[in-house]
Structure 1
Amino acid sequence: MKEYRKYFPITAEPKDVYNALTNKFMIEIWTGETAEMEEVAGSEFSMWDGSICGKNIEFVKDQKIVQEWYFGEEESSVVTIKLHPNKGGTSMEVFQTNIPDEAYENIAEGWEDDYYVALNQLFEE
């Protein structure tokens, strides 16, 4: 199993990034796909029309989101997103644990080429 950690710069305040990550309608805007999301610990979520799904574990308003992402029926990974204010807006820290070795490259590319790019474009327009 592997871990992934990266910091992504976003030109928006942490409260706006947090809203984009926790509000179902905002998620659908920046992903362009259907989503299910409630800002409630223990609730199930789904993004990119089911490509990413799991359970919400913890929310700290405008600061942190912890989720369990499912990889099939028996494997899961924990994703922690922390939002750090900085001069340019927000540094989004992504830390994902328990990534199956065979899924690591796909996960890393997904964070960098899909998740981050789509989210960042929301704030650049």
Structure 2
Amino acid sequence: MKDYKAYFIIPASPSQVYLALTVETTIHLWTGEEAQMEAVPDTEFSMWGGSIAGKNLAFEPDRKIVQEWYFGDETEQSIVTIKLHEHKQGTSMEVRQSNIPDEAYDDIVDGWQNTYAAALIDFYME
């Protein structure tokens, strides 16, 4: 199992980024895919047409999202923590993901960098 940490600069305020990550209709706008999301702990979510699915664990409006991402039959939970920090160019989005299965690590890193963060950045650059 591996861990991943990265920072992405999103050209929008922390409150805008938070809404983009927690409101179904906004998630659909920046991903182009159906989403199921409710900013309530202990609810399940899915994004990117089900490619990302899991359970919401905690929310701090405009500041922090904690989720468990499912990986098939893995026994250890993969926990994703997204922290939003004000930045002179908008928001610094800090991403931490723990317990990524070794065989999925490269795909997860690529997904964070070239799909998830890239789509969010593009959404606010338009």
TM-score calculated relative to the size of structure 1: 0.98
What does the per-residue CA deviation read over 1:40-74, in whole Å, with 9 as the maximum and x for residues that have no partner? 00000000110000000000000000000000134
Q: What is residue 15 of structure 2 aligned with on the other side?
A: 15
Q: What is residue 105 of structure 1 aligned with on the other side?
A: 106
Deviation for aligned residue 1:86: 1.1
> In 1, distance between residues paired with 2:46 and 2:11?
25
| Structure 1 segment 64-79 matched on structure 2, within 5 A | 64-75=64-75, 76-79=77-80
TM-score calculated relative to the size of structure 2: 0.97
> In 1, distance between residues paired with 2:73 and 2:16?
33
| Structure 1 segment 26-105 matched on structure 2, within 5 A | 26-75=26-75, 76-105=77-106
> In 1, distance between residues paired with 2:97 and 2:68?
9
> In 2, distance between residues paired with 1:94 and 1:22?
15
Residue 42 of structure 1 aligns to which amino acid in structure 2? D
Deviation for aligned residue 1:24: 0.4
Structure 1 residues without counterparts, runs of 5 or longer: none
Residue 84 of structure 1 aligns to which amino acid in structure 2? H
Structure 2 residues without counterparts, runs of 5 or longer: none
3-state secondary structure, aligned to 2:29: helix
> In 2, distance between residues paired with 1:74 and 1:97?
13
Residue 54 of structure 1 aligns to which amino acid in structure 2? G
Structure 1 segments, 4+ long, off by >3 Å, are 73-76
Identity of aligned residues (%): 59
How many residues were matched structurally?
125
Alpha-carbon RMSD across the aligned residues, in angstroms, is 0.8
Q: What is residue 2 of structure 1 aligned with on the other side?
A: 2
> In 1, distance between residues paired with 2:100 and 2:73?
14
